[in-house]
Amino acid sequence: MSRKDDFSAEIQAGYTFSGTSIVIGGAMIDAEAIPGLQVKIPLRTMNRHGLIAGATGTGKTKSLQVLAEQLAANGVPSLLMDIKGDLSGVAMPGADHPKITERAGKIGVSWHPTAYSIEFLTLSGEKGARLRATVSEFGPVLFSRILGLNDTQGGVVSVVFKYCDDRELPLLDLKDFKKVLQFLGNEGKAEMEAEYGQFSAATAATILRKVVELEQQGAELFFGELSFDVQDLCRIDENGRGIISIVRLTDIQDRPKLFSTFILQMLAEIYSSFPEEGDMDQPKLCIFIDEAHLVFQEATPALMQQLEAIIKLIRSKGVGIFFITQNPVDIPDSILAQLGLKVQHALRAFTAKDRKAIKLAAENYPITKWYQTEDTLTNLGTGEAFVSALNEKGIPTPLAHTLMRAPETRMDVLTPTEIDNIIARSALVRKYNQVVDRESAYEILHEKIQEVQESSARQEAEKPAARTSTRQEKSVIEQVISNPTTRQIGRTVARELTRGLLGVLGLGGSSSSRRKKNGWF
């Protein structure tokens, strides 16, 4: 057998599955695609997570688009984080082109312009259904980790949550949390210390600064009501296709803490609310996180531990997570080890550091006799990638230089009018974009503080009145003493009256001793 025949036999055996699979491209050897030799991914292993990596302009976004399309076509909904703003085209059919037809022929698939049902979601001022969560839903542990607090500061946050739970003070947004923290350090300090113990003003000030830092990244738009129900990500349209939800994030590229906060909360909410599914024939939901380095570059060690734990466990809920980034070194090794599917587009070596990164990236893939992986990584063409997946037994498939299939949807962004039309038809926009501002901890404590201040003001106002009354009493006495008639006729009575009053004030002797002294007995 020839080299090409040996290669074809290995790929054919490695990418043949008993269950449903999706075709993502055709296998290549010696820079030539072998017609009909397809590279597939079994749907059964799409909850084992994945990585799409490669330099700018090598085709990462199109590979993401293809995966989302093929999942939707098989009834699997997905959630796409659109940081660059170039994924909206999945809502419209693509335009035919001779090169697309030629590529489809080499791979052995048919190509049909197709549009898929999508929902636009937003964390900020972009158009779409608002994504929100309350501070209470985060819980003290996750909220502390997002703020990057130490154990002592995290303990104070736990006490704040406990105080609010005990007194039915809803923590909905960041201003609620700040108000409670300020209240417990001032008006509510005595109550706090009596029941929960002391915490220092310096600790409270540090926590407050961390909250303000999060606010400055726009987090006040994310915390609040109406909370987003993650079950709304798992919808199927009337044609039996999975709905593709796109989070529009073009205006938060410079706010990585908000981005990582949202990702972690979303994953935690999905993990806590989705039932255990075990091994399913296909995932319930796939999540694609573009520009994944933004999730990790601002993450504290505690936050990283939380992410690692969720990624390890969430696959049992039928959820697959896929990271998209320029270089695999952007992903921590502990998380990279959890990613079963790897789609590696070309990497560029401009510096010694780049060459080291390419060498490390090559070591992430199965050993193969068909390619010099490290060298080929820098020579992959646009729309080509190294692919390695997991078969249905969880074993890595052979490494395949793959000619990736072209998206069937538009490979360009939607116009503002097209976006507006989708927004106008969205049931989620009508559900989540209503303004909800019910009474919460801020309003309750604000009213309580006002009552305390008004009570203090009344007490303060009563003090001058008391002093005036005392002064008036003294003035009467003085008038009695200074009256000439009283001085001449009743000097003794006036003197005893004065001493009697002083005795009441504790400044004179007892009345009996005075009476004995004056010979009244």
Task: Please work out, in degrees rounded to the nearest 5, the angle formed at the alpha carbon of residue 248 by the alpha carbons of 243 and 254.
Answer: 150
Same domain, 173 and 154: yes
Same domain, 160 and 260: no
Same domain, 125 and 138: no
Same domain, 316 and 271: yes
Domain region containing 490: 483-521
Tell whether the torsion through CA atoms of 102, 104, 109 and 115 is positive or negative: negative
Same domain, 247 and 337: yes
Q: Is the pLDDT of residue 378 over 50?
A: yes
Mean pLDDT taken over the chain: 83
Question: Confidence class of residue 79 from pLDDT cuts 50, 70 and 90?
Answer: very high
Q: Is the pLDDT of residue 196 over 80?
A: yes
Average pLDDT estimate for 136-163? 88
Same domain, 203 and 275: no
How many other CB atoms are found less than 10 A from the CB of residue 461? 9
Same domain, 474 and 492: no
Quick one: pLDDT at residue 465?
55
Question: Confidence class of residue 352 from pLDDT cuts 50, 70 and 90?
Answer: confident
The total domain count for the chain is 3
Same domain, 141 and 262: no
Same domain, 250 and 104: yes
Tell whether the torsion through CA atoms of 44, 45, 51 and 52 is positive or negative: negative
CATH number at residue 411: 3.40.50.300
**pTM given for the model:** 0.81
Same domain, 452 and 412: no
Average pLDDT estimate for 241-269? 83
Same domain, 16 and 158: no
Tokens of 272: 């806590």
Q: What is the pLDDT of residues 401-438, one digit of tens each?
A: 999 999 999 999 999 999 999 999 999 999 998 877 77
Same domain, 421 and 320: yes
Tell whether the torsion through CA atoms of 45, 51, 53 and 59 is positive or negative: positive
Tell whether the torsion through CA atoms of 422, 424, 427 and 431 is positive or negative: positive
Q: What is the pLDDT of residues 440-453, one digit of tens each?
A: 777 887 777 776 66
Average pLDDT estimate for 15-21? 93
Q: How many residues are listed for the chain in this entry?
A: 521
